[in-house]
Chain A
């Protein structure tokens, strides 16, 4: 069946270092891919989305490329800030008929000053 797997956390980085959060998926369909971010005490909010294969999404210095061949959608940022500390979720929409999202387990990122 359809599934999403992402980097297990927690991940702790120092300010100014680079981030990669891995996200891989299994499906026979053509999903739309999303990255959501959740700050403490809040609900998840959309970071960006990519509906088409081989395209890149980006926002706030984060980016990810929809790699259809590798079935991956890794989140990257060249230089993290303390304010980036949050939980990051990879999510996929496998079925456009329902609008349902399937989320990965989330990766907790802590950035130390």
Chain B
């Protein structure tokens, strides 16, 4: 069954530390996305990718990097984590740029930065 998985599901990090959130999809979708979810802000796009080797900035990219080493995997990297990055992070995949294309979401990673 096609799916988007994320690891870890929960993470506690210290301020200034490096955090890597991983996402894997078996949908064979070209596009992948990273969002953060905060109360009162809904889902906001951080980075996205059109395929292996590509990364694009979303609406709130500051303080985050992304890496797409393969079709299946997309990582979100916090080089110097800060408490303001405490949030729930969702990865999604989509089958392209067609107008009808929906996105399929993973279960989320809850990140707490102390």
What residues of chain A have their CB less than 8 Å away from a CB belonging to chain B?
32, 34, 41-46, 49, 51, 89, 93, 96-101, 103-106
Contacts and interface: CB of A to CB of B under 8 A. Distances in A.
A100 B49 CA distance: 10
Q: Do most interface residues of chain B lie in helix, strand or loop, or is the interface mixed?
A: strand
A97 B42 CA distance: 23
Contacts, number: 60
B45 interface: yes
Task: Classify the secondary structure of A's interface with B.
Answer: loop
Given A42-B107, A44-B43, A49 B97 contact: no
Interface centre among A45, A93, A99, A104 (most CB of B within 10 A): A99
B103 A101 contact: yes
Contacts of A103: 35, 42-44
Contact of B99 (A42, A45, A96): A96
Contacts of A93: 99, 101
